[in-house]
A and B are shown apart, each in its own frame.
Chain A
């Protein structure tokens, strides 16, 4: 096994990683998947749960190994909840749950609780998704990584990839320059290089 090569074992379905928005009934689908309707965690955390669980379903996993790294990027964060808190602040104190929902990092305990998992998780932003991929590859343990790019409406997004360390395949790797390339359905492998992250297709 090469510690600098990873295989994509799961990704969010429905073309979400290629720019499609989640289906209109994503909240209903999430409630069915969880067996309950999530309460008071906010739309960003709900979207994160929707995409992450869909990705893990594709990977055939219900939880994560302890030494998996979970990294989430949300460029806009919980901005609608922040605006709501700022509005409440003009009148008095905000509602406690409004304040909690305005903390982007609250999606991490929501994910950890849903997966019944605890481990290395963080909200890290970079303009260039490849720089985030490099950072994740650099830090990932033997359990690999679960990476998410989540944005609240509009347009909503929740693209997740599950990657595990693997033996380097005999495939042609090319440098990735965008999330589209990192997460493309044609991309099956990542390899950390001096310049960034290279991607390769699957066999055949």
Chain B
């Protein structure tokens, strides 16, 4: 089975127009929330990208091309491209730019902007879309079918998602506080994120992962399924729970979902490793969130820069968000839970860690 490495990455988010800008912004204390107003007169916090364009589609094209350039995709345009998105181009439809065809047109439009010649897939499984795309792309590389594959998470401004989440009473009126004492909901955000997966060695290796849909709750996480997701991801990666040095949480600030996630993780891990979350910094970027948060996670680990947590943690969750020391993390599990009963996780290895620790090879098991 061929290994899968993270060869290139990019992120455009509320934190800035690139990953270096995002790290700079985090170091400076993060960026203030903006708000988006709905037709009923209410307005909601929103992590928007600071970029204006003449219309929705041209803005989307500019952001997609900028992210592709940051990730250095010029030489892999014949690779499979997995576009991961929940809201697709609904923002354009809202703006009166009518969709002429079907949902896949949006992925093909993105491919056209990038002069892509490889096969184009659209993964639209709500919040877990990006992680599912990573698992699919990894499968292609694992099998030797291709040497490269690209995952692009795209979630751009629209009122459809905000109003829907508002109608379901899932949004916070203020600041999202993942795992916080008085957390009262999530805030949505925009992101364009790129992960270039390759058989070519690089610092980060995708070890494996899992994806489970559980129909018992179509809108949230179930603790036992979170545990099962971890067990399957560890098995696929040839690892044990004790190997995981860090967990990148879904945690978005939901009173119930954050607690369910922690309960499931506690059952899977016993003593929890350090935990991090990015949704207080970039919001919940829905279908793009898996790729966006992995891009940011790996960049933060390399730079030892972490978002500030300026709210009290919930002591009932018995979990403290951490700022891991540079070099202390060998294996990290990143999960995304969400709408559609989705529970997905991937495990990454910092292949430079064994050189620091003296552990031979790139995996401790298998």
Contact = CB atoms under 8 A, between A and B. Distances in A.
Interface residues of B, number: 52
Interface stretch (B158-166, B239-247, B293-301, B312-320): B158-166
Among B42, B103, B159, max chain A CB count under 10 A is at: B103
B336 to A, nearest CB: 13
A96 B167 contact: yes
B234 to A, nearest CB: 16
Interface in B24-70: 38-40, 42
A80 to B, nearest CB: 13
B220 to A, nearest CB: 10
B38 A89 contact: yes
Contacts of A86: 90, 93-94, 160
A38 interface: no
Interface in B111-128: 119-126, 128
B341 A122 contact: no
Interface string B198-234: 0000000000001111111111000001001000000
Interface stretch (B137-145, B177-185, B276-284, B349-357): B137-145
Contacts of A106: 218, 339-340
Interface string B94-106: 1000000011100
B102 A123 contact: no
A126 B119 contact: yes
Nearest to A139: B139
Contacts of A122: 123, 125, 128, 132, 211, 213
A184 interface: no
| Range class of the A interface residue count | 35 or more
B342 interface: yes
Interface string B133-159: 001100110010100000000000001
A105 B339 CA distance: 8
Given A112-B215, A125-B104, A94 B164 contact: yes
Interface string A55-94: 0000000000000001000111101001001100111111
B168 interface: yes
Contacts of B159: 89
A100 B219 contact: yes
A34 interface: no
A79 B103 CA distance: 9
A124 interface: yes
Given A122-B132, A124-B122, A95 B167 contact: yes
Contacts of A123: 123-125
A179 interface: no
Contacts of A113: 215-216, 218
B124 A118 contact: no
B254 to A, nearest CB: 15
Nearest to A135: B136
B163 A94 contact: yes
B39 A103 contact: no
A119 B344 CA distance: 11
Contacts of B164: 85, 94, 96, 99, 102
A84 to B, nearest CB: 11
Nearest to B102: A75
A197 interface: no
Given A89-B38, A138-B143, 10 more contacts: A89-B159, A89-B160, A92-B38, A110-B215, A113-B216, A115-B215, A122-B128, A122-B213, A126-B119, A128-B119
Interface of A: 70, 74-77, 79, 82, 85-86, 89-96, 99-100, 102-106, 108-115, 117-128, 131-132, 135, 138-139, 194
